[in-house]
Structure 1
Amino acid sequence: MATSPGSKNEKSELPVDQGWAWVIVVGQFVNVFLMVGLAKSMGIFMEAFKQYFDTTTALASMVMAAAAVVYAFVGPVCLLLGERFGVRPIVMFGGFIGCLGISLSSLLVTMDFVIIFFGIGFGIGNSTIYGNGLVMLGTYFIKRRTLANGLALSGSSIGQFAMPPIIQLLLNKFGLSGAVLLIGGLYFHITLFSSFFRPMSYYTSRLAKKQNGVGGEKMEKLLNENVPADQDGSVFPVGGHDNEDDGPVDKMDNDKRYTSYMASTGSICLTPVETLTPVETLPADANDKFTEPVIPKKQNFCTHLFDLSILRNYICIFNIIFGFFSFFGYFNFILFLPSHAISIGIMKYEMTWLVSACGIGDLCGRLFLGYFGDLNLIQRYKLETICLMSVGVNTLMFAFADRFWWMMIHSVFYGLFGGGYVCMTAVVLIDMIGLKLMPKMLAILLLVQGIGAALGQPFLGWIYDKTGSYQVVMFVCGSSCVGSAILLAFWPIVKRLEQRRQDRLTEMKFSQRQELIVD
């Protein structure tokens, strides 16, 4: 479509792929740095809480378990609130709540008090960050969206590298209460950097004013061509020429409008808006060959968040089971690594560098294995299977490693293959179920993964309390990853079973339509 020089000038004034868009990247980088860095370092705090309150490992692990439960249930809600009220106020509010909860927990009244304020406050704050921040990146970037997401989400790996020694330093200098209070103040930086999340409507309104009263039509045309139509850009058009780097999005129709959804791995997934509320069809007349569309009833809040109808799909059930056990083994292990290292005589500062080594490996894995997956030299689900199997094997080897250098080697490889597993998860999920079912699947998958993390930490803590050995914990986490990798290898069989089910449904619908025509 041809555009006038004036229209091109108007587009250049919008910070799409330029200018303030890179400030958005900085803001999301810092937010993810603090969110993931603190989450992956909670094992250090868990050991400190255990010693301070002289409590069980199961109870001390409930801090992160509470945060995981809140994240699982509140995360989808915060995405909807971001669409309704704007991303910036929601994320800023989440950062404030997280800061308040963590800071109040520094009073260290009881372990239950810490669980409530630290766990729930941290969970609410995290729920507002990830998805809403990615929506902002999707708003401000089109041609360079892949690069922007990669730079912003690299904050998770760098945060996992930097936060453990910082936390240990604070614990040594200021004690547990002072360290928690300072971490609460550090978390408040999420509120500060989220203030950078300026809505795109700020620029569109300024451009409209420059049109001297005749810019309404031009601005409407500009919005339809280049920028999000929603107040904060959660819904936006996708043009084929602007999506060179977006994988499956390349093949989408230019005249459709898409909404963005966040995967637990940090990937943005897009789906046509019209697929969110499907139109039901019912026969208007038995003599009519074609049916009349019927507008569905308005969905309630829970139905909008979690569409359980996808549980009839074998592939979706397969992904839910796989997602639960793979995340159970992968995520929970890192929380018990510090305690395991101390139990075999590793010094505290050396213990923190084990967690940091996982972060360095994670960054390398996301970059190199993610790039290798895009070369299509091997089917992506097979690559994810290899990565997850390697994660499981390295986790099992921690049960035998009794030297710092030996544990350091496995920490790097755990991070390397874990980063590959994480960056491949969302892409493989799209390959399996397609973009149409992705939004519905993601909401349930986030919930399942959150439950896996929430149940896993007190369960593994209970195992240690009963056995007195973290080696059993390593075996459980490693076996969970290995079992998930074996399960993923059976994906082609599940695909054939689902195809047969779809064929049966198609035959049944065809038979019913033929009966209606005959009648």
Structure 2
Amino acid sequence: MSTSGTSKHLQEAPDGGWGWLVVLSSFLSHIVVPGTLKSFGVFFPYMLQAFEEDAESTAWISSIQAALTMFGSVVAGALSNVFGCRAVVMAGGLVAAVGLLSSMFVTSLPVMYLTAGFITGLGFSFMYTPCITMVGRYFKKRRALANGLGLSGAGVGTFAFPPVFQLLIDHYGWRGSLFVVAGVALQGCIFGALLRPIYLIEDFENRKTVTSNDEKAPSRRRCFSLCRLLDLSLFRKPYFVVFILSNMLLIFGNFIPFVHLVAHARNVGTGAQEAAFLISVIGIGDGVSRIAYGWLSDLGLFPRLRGYTVCALGLALSVFFLPQARTYSTMVACCLAVGLFAGSCASQTAVFLAEFCGVGRLASAVGIAYGIQGFAMLFGPPIAGRLYDVTGNYTASFYVAGSVVMVCVLMLTSLEVHRTRTISQLTNVLPRTHGITENTESCDFEKDTDERTHDTCTNDDFIMHESSV
């Protein structure tokens, strides 16, 4: 498992062992972070009354919180490269708890933007992405299943937290409830401690390459150090760029229902409790599909990217049909479909990032990808709200959300077509040039173009399996 001079570096991910505790840490992280983000709207009417501001201004609290959770992922990824994922997650638990505790005493909305929005969101970002990164480092063959198990916590939190938050508010008021939520966020110090570092041979090889580059250009070492910290060279990978942009569009369409679905349901005559339960229905479908689809995709029964594209198409159609659902049963069916397709897509994000960028650069890749998602979470709900102000209903809002996800589908389809054609060409060339066996199905086409000096790849470049193509 190790090589001379790198006795602590494993050749590949162990696919088990302590990794299952890392999956547990990711599961708990997703209960706390996405569960709180998607359920924080329970506090909205009480904050609206307390601060005596308009709905649009008050809604920015949740938008800033969710956006900072994603934007901060870039910083979290960079810090994880320096201090390790364990320390970053534990620090995030402390920061989020401080933000929520300080929000108990806030009396003005702008300060609430800072405490409940900025500080809490930044803490959540530190708790969130490093857990996803560590699962990808501990698993290879069962990476999709492990990610699905970890990410399924989001469905559990989305299902359980809304009624729990309401119960707390009924007993302790919204300010007292924030004290309890802060205690939940503080548990990041506990599940963060489970993220035991793992050292792979790929880390050692990447470090040697970086050191060699620094020695060749010492005058640019400072610039290289900054780029290395954020790993901005990932933007030179076309597949990575296309994937994160398409993922941002998918999140744009997926996040709008969490903000406006309850209001839409009540507008068409649904009761308050029944309308709130629709969010829990999405959470049920989301949690189940993250596990089930993660396991299914690891079986290799279908090309992974094609399956992801089909799920994105299903999400787009489900959001499209939401405004047409006029009975409660059809609303439940649409919400269940939204949860199932959204959860299936979510279980594959870290898997594709690991395959496109490599496990050694996964922390930066996850940080950048989730940071880009912050734009969707920041601007998606206000845009949908503006459409409601203009039209007087949420029909246009859901149509726009579905259309944006459809653009994501078109981008993914183009990516799949290009990869399939490239692989087909290489499989015809490589056996004649290098004698590659039939077990070699695909190639890492994301090698930086300035590093490629040959027209064909070697055996070491073939890291993408047929199920991923």
**Shorter-chain-normalised TM-score: which range?**
0.7 to 0.9
How far is 1:381 from its partner? 1.5
2:276 matched to 1:352? Answer: yes
Retained in 1: the 8 A contact 2:89–2:128?
no
- Which position in structure 1 is the counterpart of 2:75? 77
Cα separation, 1, equivalents of 2:363 and 2:25: 25
Q: Give yes or no for contact 1:315–1:432 (8 Å, CA) kept in 2.
A: yes
**One-letter amino acid matched to 1:371:** W
Q: Which runs of 5+ in 1 are unaligned?
A: 3-15, 201-231, 238-255, 260-271, 282-291, 512-519
Supply the distance in 2 between the matched residues of 1:381 and 1:22 (Cα, whole angstroms): 26
Listed one character per residue, the Cα deviations across residues 325-346 of structure 1 (whole Å, up to 9, x for unaligned) are 1111112332222222233332
Q: Which amino acid aligns with 2:337?
A: F
Give the equivalent residue in structure 2 for 1:269.
Answer: none
Q: 1:454 aligns with which of 368, 373, 378?
A: 378
Provide the rounded CA distance (Å) in 1 between the counterparts of 2:351 and 2:83.
Answer: 30
1:464–1:304 CA distance, 2 compared to 1 (3 A): farther
Normalised TM-score (structure 1): 0.69
Aligned residue for 1:157? 155
Write the letter of the residue equivalent to 1:74: G
Among 214, 239, 242, which residue is 1:315 paired with?
Answer: 239
User: Percent identity among equivalent residues?
Assistant: 27
Between the aligned partners of 1:141 and 1:433, the Cα distance in structure 2 is 15
Structure 2 matches for 1:53-202, cutoff 5 A?
A: 53=51, 55-82=53-80, 84-85=82-83, 87=85, 90-107=88-105, 109-134=107-132, 150-174=148-172, 178-192=173-187, 194-195=189-190, 197-198=192-193
- Tell me what 1:419 maps to: 343
Matching of residue 484 in structure 1 with residue 417 in structure 2: no
CA distance in 2, matches of 1:469, 1:355: 19
Instruction: Choose which of 363, 387, 396 in structure 2 pairs with 1:472.
Output: 396
What amino acid is aligned across from residue 203 of structure 2 in structure 1? Answer: Y
TM-score of the superposed pair, with normalisation by structure 2 = 0.75
Displacement after TM superposition at 1:482 (Å): 1.9
Q: 1:301 to 1:56 in 2, by over 3 A?
A: farther
Cα distance 1:488–1:90, how it changes in 2: closer, same or farther (>3 A)?
closer
Q: Separation in 2 of the partners of 1:507 and 1:112?
A: 49
Q: CA RMSD in A?
A: 4.1
Structure of greater Rg: 1
Please state how far the C-alpha of 1:442 moved relative to its aligned partner: 3.5
CA deviation after TM superposition for structure 1 residue 38, in Å = 0.9
Query: Post-superposition shift, 1:37?
Result: 0.8
Distance 1:475 1:146 in 2: 31
Q: How far apart are 1:420 and its partner, in Å?
A: 0.8
What is the alpha-carbon distance in structure 1 between the residues aligned to residue 310 and residue 181 of structure 2? 37
Asked whether the equivalents of residues 77 and 305 of structure 1 are also in contact (C-alpha less than 8 Å), the reply is no
2:41 aligned partner? 43
Q: How does 1:241-256 map to 2 (within 5 A)?
A: 256=201
Distance in 2 of aligned mates of 1:329 and 1:444? 19
Residues 52-61 or 413-422, more deviating: 52-61
> Greater shift after overlay, 309-318 or 57-66?
309-318
Query: Which amino acid is 2:183 matched to?
Result: F
Mapped contact 2:90–2:190 kept (Cα < 8 A): yes
Residues 92 and 188 of structure 2 are in contact (CA less than 8 Å); yes or no, is this contact kept in structure 1? no
Distance in 2 between residues matched to 1:507 and 1:99, nearest whole Å: 45
Alpha-carbon deviations, 1:130-157, whole Å to 9, x = none? 2333566678889998776554433221
- Aligned-partner residue type, residue 99 of structure 2: G
Q: Measured at CA, do residues 301 and 277 of structure 1 come closer, stay the same or move farther in structure 2, by a change above 3 Å?
A: closer
Matched, 1:366 2:290: yes
How many residues in Structure 1 have an aligned counterpart in Structure 2?
421
Report whether the alignment pairs 1:277 with 2:210: yes
Q: Which amino acid aligns with 2:199?
A: F
Distance change >3 Å, CA 367–CA 171, structure 1 → 2: same
Deviation at 1:82, TM superposition (A): 4.7
| Cα offset, 1:94, TM superposition | 2.4
Given the superposition, is the C-alpha separation of residues 276 and 180 from structure 1 closer, same or farther in structure 2, using an over 3 Å criterion?
A: farther
What is the deviation of 1:120? Answer: 1.3
Contact kept? 1:57, 1:465, Cα under 8 Å: no
Q: Secondary structure at the match of 2:41?
A: helix
Contact 1:58 1:457 in 2 (8 A): no
Q: Does 1:236 align with 2:199?
A: yes
Alignment partner of 1:97: what SS? helix
Aligned amino acid, residue 100 of structure 2: I
Once residues 493 and 23 of structure 1 are traced to their aligned partners in structure 2, the CA distance between those partners, rounded to angstroms, is 38
Kindly state the Cα deviation for residue 484 of structure 1 after the two structures are TM-superposed: 1.1
List aligned pairs for 1:291-306, cutoff 5 A.
Answer: 297-299=221-223, 302-306=226-230
Letter in 1 for 2:29: N
Give 5+ residue unaligned stretches, structure 2.
Answer: 3-15, 427-444, 456-469
Report the Cα offset of residue 468 of structure 1: 2.8
Measured after TM superposition, the shift of residue 257 of structure 1 is 4.1
* Counterparts of 2:385 and 2:450, CA distance in 1: 49
1:130-189 deviation per Cα after TM superposition (whole angstroms, max 9, x unaligned): 233356667888999877655443322111110122223334444xxx234314423323
Alpha-carbon distance between aligned partners in 1 of 2:225 and 2:263, rounded to the nearest angstrom: 41
Q: Quickly say closer, same or farther: Cα 1:324–1:167, change in 2 above 3 A.
A: same
The answer to whether the Cα contact below 8 Å between 1:315 and 1:433 also exists between their aligned partners in 2 is no
Other-structure match for 1:252: none
